[in-house]
Structure 1
Amino acid sequence: MQEYTLKKSLGQHFLKDENICKKIVDALQSHSFKQLLEVGPGAGALTKYLLDIKDIDFKAVELDEEKVIFLEKQFPAIKERIIHKSVLDIDAPFEKDFTVIGNFPYNISSQILFKILDWKERVPLSIGMFQKEVAQRIAAKSGSKAYGILSVLIQEFYDVTYLFDVPPESFNPPPKVMSGVIQLIKKENTFALQSERKFFVLVKTAFNQRRKMLRNAVKSLFDESLLQDEIFNKRAEQLTVEDFAKLTFKMI
């Protein structure tokens, strides 16, 4: 008997395919880590495996009170380890570096990525499930239609690997779309930036009008004389992450 309800408002699609759960946990355990945060454990499909990992400090963050009660009843070992809040509202849950894993709620998956970027100095590794379209966007290279704000901002700081597809029937209820699991590994050497703030502003401004030539899309951020430079003849999706990074040094 199912002891919880599924809440569409929270973007809940619970993983039920044990093979997929094991593939995700295997991908995680190919790395070493001491502290682990699971985002959105839901009904505990991944949690039951994560609780078995030896010699780590484990925490889970779950907004839905009904799921918190269910998890504590189902997995007594999780008591005292659940943070009953939205991941978007919490501070870093550990003092030192920690890994982030989760079947991320689809309605806030992009915001979770920005949260990971906020924590990037402390998060060397993250493995997450997204809608396939979002996962492809994060991993996309310049020149492709999927390449956009998320691709550039994440790839400045992390190496992205698209691990595998997850079909709708692996979930309850099945989502209307394919899903995909990706891995983020923190880069040791990022491209030099004048400032992160300028980088974020430039990337967002460029892609907000992605059909326009860069010269027209970002003209408010550069002196007019600079806009004659050849790179401004391109559109945002034609620039590499390094191109964007270099341009931050020329911004007003």
Structure 2
Amino acid sequence: MSDPDRPGAPGVLPPLREVIARHGLGARKALGQHFLLDLNLTRRIARAAGPIGEGTVIEIGPGPGGLTRALLECGAGRLVAIERDERCRAALAEVEAAFPGRLEVVMGDALAVDPATVSTAPRRIVANLPYNISTALLLRWLERPGDYAGMVLMFQKEVADRLLARPGDPDYGRLTVLVQWLCRVRRLFDVPASAFVPPPKVTSSVVEIVPRDAPLAPADRPTLERVTQAAFGQRRKMLRASLRPLGGEALLVACGIDPTRRAEELSVEDFARLARHLSP
């Protein structure tokens, strides 16, 4: 039991397994649900979020509230939890009551809710993301990366590998370029499937993503995305062929890039240089 004299200590809350059983919260595959019940892991994730006493912490898909509890115990001054599953409302209400005035539950689809409209800066997103929408959520948040001071997110390990890949790695691709162009990314730790209920078929990774004050290199984002789409859409071809619709060999030569190279060999800065050359 938590020490009631410690800042951030909760009221009395039942064990998560009891909450899940009492409210009938069996994980639903259609919602990408895998509940993390290991208290050591949820606290480790919460501590990795850094200073969370000011501004707002935003959690996506809290489910029965395991990570929610850890974030509040670790000092989150205001926590906004966005949950789609109506079955979880009652369980999260218990956490709200245990931490008066600090937790706000927003019922809705995270893909349709703009976290910036339900929170105040500085904002940090900390979440065990639903696997089936994790990449879509990240890309949506990065449409305005300046809205967030940082993110600590759990992904499938294969998605984390793509976020962290380097030129020449098999996982290096469009997602890598865009995220690293906008953010600094580092892997914090991996989480085995056995830590979840029900266990997924894959290992998970907790990743820290911190938006840069300015992109890694100057470029127009729509143009950069157009270049990476063309380059990685035919990644086995040489760039002079895959980028032919955008200027092909002439474009590459103008940017000082060997036309016989392939997409996975270029750095983020190389792609930004191509985008700058194409921009009006």
Q: Percent identity?
A: 36
1:31 positional shift: 7.0
* 8 Å Cα contact 1:71-1:78 kept in structure 2: no
In structure 2, the partner of 1:242 is 269
In the TM superposition, residue 96 of structure 1 has moved relative to its aligned partner by 3.0
Determine if the alignment matches structure 1 residue 200 to structure 2 residue 225.
Answer: yes
Partner of 1:175: 200
- 2-structure distance, mates of 1:251, 1:90: 34
- Which of 79, 83, 107 is matched with 1:58 structurally? 79
Structure 1 segment 17-56 matched on structure 2, within 5 A: 17-29=38-50, 33-54=54-75, 56=77
Stretch moving more, 56-65 or 215-224: 215-224
Distance 1:32 1:143, change over 3 A: farther
> What's the Cα RMSD here?
2.1
Deviation at 1:51, TM superposition (A): 2.2
Structure 2 residue runs of 5 or longer lacking an equivalent are: 1-17
Q: Specify the structure having the higher radius of gyration (Cα).
A: 2
**Displacement after TM superposition at 1:224 (Å):** 5.8
Q: Is residue 242–residue 248 contact of structure 2 (8 Å, CA) maintained in 1? A: no
Indicate the residue corresponding to 1:100 in structure 2: 125
Q: CA deviation at 1:95?
A: 4.4
SS of residue paired to 1:250: helix
Within-5 A mapping of 1:128-143? 128-143=153-168
Given that 1:39 and 1:101 are in contact with CA atoms closer than 8 Å, whether structure 2 keeps it comes out as yes
Q: Name the CA shift for 1:159/1:124 in 2 (closer, same or farther; >3 Å).
A: same
* Equivalenced residues, count: 252
Aligned partners of 1:64, 1:135: CA distance in 2, in Å?
Answer: 26
User: TM-score, with normalisation over the residues of structure 2?
Assistant: 0.83
CA shift digits 1:145-181 (9 cap, x unpaired): 0111111111011110011110011000000111110
Which position in structure 2 is the counterpart of 1:115?
Answer: 140
**Could you tell me how far 1:242 is from its partner in structure 2?**
0.7
**1:163-212 deviations in Å (ceiling 9; x for gaps):** 11100110000001111100011223423334111112212221122111
